[in-house]
Amino acid sequence: MTNPCAAVRSRFEPYRDESLARDERMAMRDHLASCADCRSEAARFDPVLLFAAMPEETVSAAEAGQILAAVRSGIALKTAEKRLASASGSGSRSLSSVLSPGRRISATAAAVAAAVVLAWTAGPGAALRVTPVLPASPPSAAAPSSASLSGSGSSIVPAARASASDPVDGGSMTVPSALARPEAAAGSSDLPFGEASGPAKGNLPADATIYDWNPGGGQPRVVWIVDRSLDI
Amino acid sequence: MELVYSETRQRQESAELSDRELALLARGGDMLSFELLVSRKTAAVVSVARRIVPDPEDARDVAQMVFLRVWEQLDRYDDKYSFNTWLYRIATNLSIDFLRSSRSREKAHTATLHIVRQREEATGGETARAAEEGEVAGLFRQASERLTGKQKAAFVLREMEDKDTSEIAAILGCGESTVRNHLFNARRILRKEIEKICPGFLAGKGRGSR
């Protein structure tokens, strides 16, 4: 047994009793992590000391990237919720609860990562203005007064938005004919969102689910396109 | 479609800012600073969540929720205090909330099976130390199921995150004497659980030391 081992073993009791200084605690933990004999001694002294030498948790770059992407998407979702709520008044429901009830937040966030809010202000046949859902700022910051956030200094546009099937072209898209008609939205009457179906999906990713806010309602309308292939 | 990319910002300058400075910039709507803060704190938040929430996937969900909550509540952050303390408070509270949820209880059985599997796999190609680490981590997951959320959080912050009693008190929003009680009770319960779960494990360790 080396001198460091003897020193560590003499400190098992003060370690357990919370009477060691922080640097002494850390030094002891470092030693336990590298010395099997002392770990055994520590476990014999008090089995809970087994946990004094737990390995550090590591996070892979891929996992960190997934978390950041999900957080971005979650912020985009919440930003859109706030905007929809302010547009529809006090009666609106949570967008996330309508879109993906019971789903994991990561799945919801990833799905909404592919969402595009289309503000339809013209009649049938007109081109839609396409505004990506961008995070503005935390709720405390000045509320955005404009529908466009292109000047926010940040852009949250998922990779899937650049896919070949992406209908966006040069800042506008042609309104799918079915979407241009309010009756195309097959939503229940008590929800602000309804799931569209039929030919509306023609120009969209195969796994896309279209949610039509305020189906059959007046102008402006907002359509969410959610690419389910991105669910994780 | 007109996009404005954050790459035009001076990432390097932002990287030199403190957590508190980044938080204040993020509160003003600077998403670059917020994302930098997320990147900087991901490992710490995931670590706490994984220690408290048994299932790794759930822990990742909790970590995501933590950062969303941070973003939502940045206006409540009092910059007189450490950003880390505030972040850990959100992380432990959400992890404890998750533990209390029915979903977590449903997964408890799965987590136990995972531990068993991990032990079986650990006897294979892994090194002895890696096997032991996996075994100890699995043992903690199983034994700590009997702890309350606060007891578990206090123990994790103390033993695995190197927090002082005063810091833990600030994170958990309680007094230092309460933290000491949580730690004392956590150790008592863990001791009992370890001896119940695998008495042979400890006997083996004891023999190995001679």
CB contact at 8 A, B149 and B172: no
Chain B neighbors of A75, CB-CB under 8 A: 31, 68, 71
What is the separation, in whole angstroms, between the first and last Cα of chain B? 72
Record: contact A154-B4, CB cut-off 8 A: yes
Which among A16, A63, A154 has the least Cβ separation from residue B60? Answer: A63
Query: Alpha carbon of B113 to those of B101, B102, B117, B126: distances in Å?
Result: 20, 18, 6, 19
CA distance A120 to chain B (A): 15
> What percent of chain A clears pLDDT 70, i.e. is strictly above it?
37
- A–B: how many Cβ contacts below 8 A? 167
**pLDDT averaged per 10 residues, chain B (length 210):** 48 77 92 93 94 89 94 91 94 91 55 47 52 79 91 94 92 95 95 83 44
What would the mean pLDDT of A135-159 be, rounded to a whole number?
37
Q: What CA dihedral angle connects B82, B88, B89 and B91, to 10 degrees?
A: 150
Cα–Cα dist B203/B210, whole Å: 12
Average pLDDT, chain A: 58
Q: What is the pLDDT of residue B102?
A: 54
For an interface test with A, give the residue of B135, B202, B205 to mutate (most A CBs within 10 A). Answer: B205
Nearest-10 crossing angle of helices A61-88, B56-73: 50
Record: contact B61-A104, CB cut-off 8 A: yes
Between residues B86 and A109, which one has the greater pLDDT?
Answer: B86
Q: B175 by DSSP, 3-state: which?
A: coil
Which among B4, B30, B159 has the least Cβ separation from residue A155? Answer: B4
Chain A neighbors of B183, CB-CB under 8 A: 18
Query: Alpha carbon of A66 to those of A73, A162, A201, A232, B174: distances in Å?
Result: 11, 18, 28, 10, 34
Look up the ipTM and state it.
Answer: 0.77
Q: Per DSSP, what are the bridge partners of residue A193? A: A213
* Cα–Cα nearest to A167, from A227, A121, A215: A227
Cα–Cα dist A120/A126, whole Å: 9
Query: Alpha carbon of B7 to those of A64, B32, B39, B90: distances in Å?
Result: 19, 9, 15, 29
CA distance B45 to chain A (A): 10
What is the full DSSP assignment across A95-138? Answer: HHHHHSTT--HHHHHHHHTT-EEEEE-S-TTSEEEEEE------
Cα–Cα dist B158/A26, whole Å: 11
Record: contact B38-A67, CB cut-off 8 A: yes
Tell me the helix, strand and coil percentages in chain A, rounded to 5. 45, 15, 45
Q: What is the pLDDT of residue B60?
A: 92
Q: What is the pLDDT of residue B89?
A: 95
Q: What is the pLDDT of residues A162-207, one digit of tens each?
A: 333 333 333 333 333 333 333 333 333 333 444 444 444 445 455 5
Structure tokens at A102: 């019971």
Q: What is the pLDDT of residues A24-74, one digit of tens each?
A: 998 999 899 889 899 889 988 998 998 988 878 889 999 999 999 999 988
CB contact at 8 A, B115 and B138: yes
Spell out the residues 6+ positions from residue B178 whose beta carbon is closer than 8 angstroms to its own.
Answer: B169, B172
Query: Alpha carbon of A102 to those of A99, A204, B44, B58, B97: distances in Å?
Result: 10, 25, 27, 14, 17
Cα–Cα dist A82/A65, whole Å: 26
Question: Can you tell me which residue has the tokens 């702890």?
Answer: B147
Q: Is the pTM of this model over 0.90?
A: no
Q: A94 by DSSP, 3-state: which?
A: coil
CA distance A189 to chain B (A): 31
Chain A neighbors of B5, CB-CB under 8 A: 155
Instruction: State which residue of chain B sits closest to A18, comparing Cα positions.
Output: B180
pLDDT at A146 > cutoff 90 = no
Record: contact A153-B208, CB cut-off 8 A: no
Q: What is the pLDDT of residues A7-28, one digit of tens each?
A: 999 999 999 888 888 889 989 9
Cα–Cα dist B133/B156, whole Å: 16
Query: Alpha carbon of A57 to those of A209, B42, B73, B140, B161: distances in Å?
Result: 37, 11, 27, 13, 10
pLDDT at A219 > cutoff 60 = no
Cα–Cα dist A24/A33, whole Å: 14
> Which amino acid is residue A95, in one-letter code?
L
Which among A58, A59, A105 has the least Cβ separation from residue B65? Answer: A105
CB contact at 8 A, B135 and B122: yes
Record: contact A170-B1, CB cut-off 8 A: yes
What is the separation, in whole angstroms, between the first and last Cα of chain A? 51
